[in-house]
Amino acid sequence: MQEPTLLSLSIKDNIAYGRSATSDQIEEDAKTIHAHDFITSLEMGYETQVGRTGLTLTEEQKIKISITRVVLSNPSILLLDEVTSGLDFEAKKVVQEALDILIYMTVLSIFCICVTEIPIDLFQEVN
């Protein structure tokens, strides 16, 4: 998987990523992706600073924050580049569950670029 992009900002700001969103919207989307519990377990919660100058997160946590950002942005098209490459079983499971939720909640076209592996059960059509 390409490294999820997190800026040296709070978790809340990384999820909002420049969009105007209320704390309630951000928390609701984090709950949807099952990121809320790990975020609120941190001492500063959604205000925890991450990135190069902040707390170091696990790959799974970074993925959850990145996918929560996607849910908040409500895209009609999503491009996934090597979405499961290099991830361990647990992280792959997190991606699978999050994408299942996204697909269930939205009308979304997903384009997945995979060289070695493809989470094929996610997709209706594979070319």
Mean pLDDT, rounded, of the chain: 83
What is the domain partition of the chain in residue ranges? 11-122
Q: Measured between alpha carbons, how far is residue 56 from residues 6, 62, 76, 82, 105 in Å?
A: 11, 9, 31, 22, 30
Across residues 62-79, what is the average pLDDT? 88
CB atoms within 10 A of CB 20: 6
**In contact, 108 and 71? CB cutoff 8 Å:** no
Across residues 23-47, what is the average pLDDT? 95
Q: Decide if pLDDT at 124 tops 70.
A: no
60 Cβ contact partners less than 8 Å away, ≥ 6 residues apart = 90, 91, 94
pTM of the model: 0.79
Q: What's the rounded Cα separation, in Å, for the pair 93 and 98?
A: 9
Across residues 15-38, what is the average pLDDT? 93
Nearest partner of 66 among 88, 35, 43, 106, judged by Cα: 35
Q: Which residue has the higher pLDDT, 127 or 25?
A: 25
pLDDT band for position 89 (50/70/90)?
confident
Q: Which two tokens stand for residue 99?
A: 């994408």
Across residues 16-38, what is the average pLDDT? 93
pLDDT of residue 39: 98
Q: Tell the CATH topology of 11-122.
A: Rossmann fold (3.40.50)
